[in-house]
Structure 1
């Protein structure tokens, strides 16, 4: 429930405040241009890295290796691309962190721990 409040109330309120601050600081047109630019760049990088992650998953499956890290990277790339397409500076920063391989690698242990916690609480089911 706390996550939903954060997602639908707090983050948009912060984004609106950042839009107002940016509009006052650099102007309205540069702010709108920056939002459009981050959306275009986000779509490009998400597509490029998403296809690379898909190839890694396919290669690992062909080799008989479970594609755990490659699939986690794919999910991070998808989420990062969606966040970059969402208008806002805070979501752009979060999306960029999910798209950059260095920060994804640093976040991987936290994400794996979170997924294991969800599985142990039966919030995620794995069907075999």
Structure 2
């Protein structure tokens, strides 16, 4: 079983468990408001960080450079934004850490290692093989 499939199956189960426990401790409506608040905050955070990255990509392109690092940053921001919109504590934590510049470097380095390993093996395809 691939790591991504495992992540897709296990993460919602963990999120659901945590949301049920949070609802029991904080109350149903407080938990719902927390989910909505993180979704809204994530949207605005991803939007503002995305604007910075887009302007940096445009600047790099206008200077004739390939913005590879900025493209990875943009990818992390998009994925982080999606995680923040999906209800759940675990996905919110992953999403926030993918959007904040300091913690985003971890994800960028991880993606770079995956791509470098694929290139070394001669398998640079980004599509999943089922």
What TM-score do the two structures reach when normalised by structure 1? Answer: 0.89
Residue-pair matches, total = 124
Which runs of structure 2 are paired with 1:1-128 in the superposition (5 Å)? 1-2=1-2, 3-7=4-8, 9-119=9-119, 120-124=122-126
Query: What whole-Å deviation, never above 9, does each CA across 1:63-111 have from its counterpart, x for those lacking one?
Result: 1111011110000000000000000000000000000000112333222
Q: Calculate the TM-score normalised by the size of structure 2.
A: 0.88
Q: Which runs of 5+ in 1 are unaligned?
A: none
Kindly provide the CA deviation profile for residues 100-126 of structure 1, in whole angstroms up to 9, marking residues without a partner as x. 00011233322211122234324338x
> In the aligned structure 2, how far is the partner of 1:68 from the partner of 1:117?
17
In structure 2, distance between residues paired with 1:69 and 1:18? 35
Query: Deviations 1:3-58 (Å, cap 9, x if unpaired)?
Result: 22330x21111011001110111111110000000000011011111111111000
Gaps of 5+ in 2: none
- Between 76-85 and 106-115, the greater mean CA deviation after superposition: 106-115
Runs of 4+ with >3 A deviation: none
Q: RMSD of the TM alignment (CA)?
A: 1.5
